[in-house]
Chain A
Amino acid sequence: MTETATIERLKDIIADELDARIDRADIALDTPLFEGGLGLDSVVLVELISLVEQAFDIRFSDDELLPESFRSVRVLADVIEAKAAS
């Protein structure tokens, strides 16, 4: 999967699969996922983690559940790709 494909898939998840009423057009690569950006709350975050794990067939360990990794779509896509490659 190319980076673009990862990013596109992530945007699909956030816009279409998360129960958070987020418009795809509002998701820029560097939009923060939490406050001051998409405003994902704790419950939606749990859902996001689980959807990402399913979609990319990965599993985050506790050590990988870092706020930095979920800063934006771009950063999260990098994390997912690094993890899938390892």
Chain B
Amino acid sequence: MDSTWIAPRAGADAVLADGDQVLPHAQLRAGFAEFDRRFGAAGVVAGDGLVLAVVNSLATAWTLLYLLERGYDTVLLPSAAADDPVARPAFCRWLLTPRTTDDPVTPETAVRIAPNPQYWPGSALEAGAPRLMLRTSGSTGAPKLVAHTHRALRSNALRCVERFALTSADRAALPVPIHHMFGLGAGLLPAVVAGASVDLQQDANLLRFIARERAFDPSIAFMTPAFATTLLATRRGTRPYRLTVTAGDRFQADRLARYEAAFGAVIQLYGSTEQGAVAAAAAELPLPVRCRTVGSAMAGVELRVAAPVGEVGALSCRRDDGFMGYLDLQGRRLPSGHDAAGWWPTNDFARLDPSGHLEVLGRSDHSVNRDGLLVFFAEVERVIETLDSVASVAVTAEREEGPRGRRLIACCVAAADADPSPARIRAHCFDRLPPRAVPDEIHLIERLPLLANGKIDRLRLQAIYRGNTPGDDP
């Protein structure tokens, strides 16, 4: 196995691009010697930790590849977080800020190297294999870092290359941030190790995406289902890609099918900051399987659902090259959550079909116990989504109890020119779901509130429907 990230054999035409500038892989590689001189002159020595402020730019990607190539312990922070002293890890001596001017990117101009004012010499990482650390907010607030060895990231990347059938002829559009595992671990790094070209898009929206598409001519794209849906809603023409990889949320089945008809094969990927790519469909799978599931486990990953095949249960995974654990900002190790046998709970509920395809039903906190059995919001959403009169739906539960348990609420957005009645939506649920899964209330709302990452903002959702008159209170 090649140990370098930018393969010397990369296709002669392979480039990294960001809308301002395009650089061939070979030139990126050649520039590492100049990076060595600059880092040496600044006083950076082996073993130092570095924080890299990340934007989707050529300068960031070049610096990141250099740090990986030379085996530095590196923390990636979104640039806004890197500006915030509170967010900076105390165990990092250096703060790296990629250049944001319009001057050409060179090893001299790519990145500003400055001492990290929050560096505290008493804090240190345990010595060990070089690590790359990503931030996760967790559900309880305190930011923590997820540490991966460079080696594990590389094996994750190679498995993505295989699953996506990436080659040096591919050109990847990356409108998703590379400080997240999806953009980094499934998008940028696999494309680079495959010797493919990459277009990094900062502050992507559909207009910029379409404009970049004309200039860069991508063959593969990585995006959230929410972003794919904006393309589907606005573009008139078709423009087939070899492959679109989605992650971050479930892609509604009928939208995925319509997206595919206009823009080429879609596969859904399932993963996390901790586990990298866990499962992904292969483009060869039949469309219904790709709509319903995230395909089978990646090589080296085992999946375990705490239920018989075909039934829903809590999903755990175990990988041969898993994440090392969590760290706090002082570099202290926090519990990783693995059990003694190496299984890691994903906090998602899922079902494995007999062929080993994984259907993820949503986070374990997106379910509720009614009539003594679990009801998954996603399962109810899927049933309501089959109504043509409903464009989108999100299900949530109230704290207060109804006769079957916590009250189940469905918030529906009407399809254009449709006027669905709450009573009809409930009747549809009654025909297709057990009584415990029929929502107690249906609310029609203007639109679903989304978080910055494109996922449904369920907290805001409750505020919105509480402001509405109940649609159909039984």
| Contact assessment for B236 and A42 in the assembled complex, using a CB-CB cutoff below 8 Å | no
Name the interface residues of A49-77: CB closer than 8 Å to any CB of B.
49-50, 59-62, 65-67, 69-70
Chain B residues with CB under 8 Å of A59's CB are 236
Chain A proximity of B220: nearest CB distance (Å): 19
Given known A62-B235, A62-B237, contact A35–B203 (CB-CB < 8 A) = yes
| Contact assessment for B210 and A34 in the assembled complex, using a CB-CB cutoff below 8 Å | no
| Contact assessment for B207 and A45 in the assembled complex, using a CB-CB cutoff below 8 Å | yes
Contact of B469 with A by CB under 8 A: no
Chain B residues with CB under 8 Å of A43's CB are 226, 230, 447, 450
Chain B proximity of A8: nearest CB distance (Å): 23
| Contact assessment for B206 and A46 in the assembled complex, using a CB-CB cutoff below 8 Å | yes
* A60 to B235 Cα, complex, angstroms: 9
Chain B proximity of A63: nearest CB distance (Å): 9
* A39 to B206 Cα, complex, angstroms: 14
* A79 to B376 Cα, complex, angstroms: 47
Contact of A30 with B by CB under 8 A: no
Interface residue total, chain A, C-beta cutoff 8 A: 21
Contact of A41 with B by CB under 8 A: yes
| Contact assessment for B205 and A45 in the assembled complex, using a CB-CB cutoff below 8 Å | yes
| Contact assessment for A42 and B205 in the assembled complex, using a CB-CB cutoff below 8 Å | yes
Contact of A3 with B by CB under 8 A: no
Given known A19-B446, A43-B450, A45-B205, contact A65–B226 (CB-CB < 8 A) = no
- Of A34, A61, A66, A67, the residue contacting B236 (CB under 8 A) is A61
Chain A proximity of B211: nearest CB distance (Å): 5
Given known A34-B203, A35-B203, A50-B233, contact A42–B211 (CB-CB < 8 A) = no
* A67 to B210 Cα, complex, angstroms: 9
Chain A proximity of B248: nearest CB distance (Å): 13
Contact of B101 with A by CB under 8 A: no
Chain A residues with CB under 8 Å of B237's CB are 61-62
| Contact assessment for B226 and A66 in the assembled complex, using a CB-CB cutoff below 8 Å | no
Chain B residues with CB under 8 Å of A60's CB are 236
Chain B residues with CB under 8 Å of A41's CB are 205, 452
Chain A residues with CB under 8 Å of B203's CB are 34-35
- Total of A-B residue pairs, C-beta within 8 Å: 52
Chain B residues with CB under 8 Å of A42's CB are 204-206, 226-227, 230
Contact of B355 with A by CB under 8 A: no
Chain A proximity of B236: nearest CB distance (Å): 5
Interface residue total, chain B, C-beta cutoff 8 A: 21
| Contact assessment for A46 and B211 in the assembled complex, using a CB-CB cutoff below 8 Å | no
Nearest residue (CB) in B for A35 is B203
Chain B residues with CB under 8 Å of A19's CB are 446-447
In the complex, per-residue mask of B192-221: 1 if CB is within 8 Å of any chain A CB, else 0 = 000000000001111110110000000000
Chain B residues with CB under 8 Å of A70's CB are 207
Chain A residues with CB under 8 Å of B239's CB are 62
Name the interface residues of B438-468: CB closer than 8 Å to any CB of A.
446-447, 450, 452
Chain B proximity of A53: nearest CB distance (Å): 10
Chain A residues with CB under 8 Å of B27's CB are none
* A45 to B210 Cα, complex, angstroms: 13
Contact of B234 with A by CB under 8 A: yes
**Most chain-B Cβ atoms within 10 A of its Cβ — which of A60, A61, A67?**
A67
- Of B227, B233, B236, the residue contacting A62 (CB under 8 A) is B236
Given known A19-B446, A19-B447, contact A46–B207 (CB-CB < 8 A) = no
| Contact assessment for A65 and B235 in the assembled complex, using a CB-CB cutoff below 8 Å | yes
* A60 to B230 Cα, complex, angstroms: 15
**Most chain-B Cβ atoms within 10 A of its Cβ — which of A34, A40, A65?**
A65
Chain A residues with CB under 8 Å of B206's CB are 42, 45-46, 65
* A42 to B235 Cα, complex, angstroms: 13
24 contacts between A and B (CB under 8 A): A19-B446, A34-B205, A35-B203, A41-B205, A41-B452, A42-B204, A42-B226, A42-B227, A43-B226, A43-B450, A45-B206, A46-B206, A46-B230, A47-B447, A50-B233, A61-B236, A62-B210, A62-B237, A62-B239, A65-B206, A65-B234, A67-B207, A67-B211, A69-B207
List the interface of chain B (C-beta within 8 A of A): 203-208, 210-211, 226-227, 230, 233-237, 239, 446-447, 450, 452
Besides A45-B206, A65-B235, A67-B207, 16 other A-B contacts (C-beta < 8 A): A34-B203, A34-B205, A40-B205, A42-B226, A42-B227, A42-B230, A43-B447, A45-B205, A46-B206, A50-B233, A59-B236, A62-B210, A62-B235, A62-B239, A65-B206, A69-B207
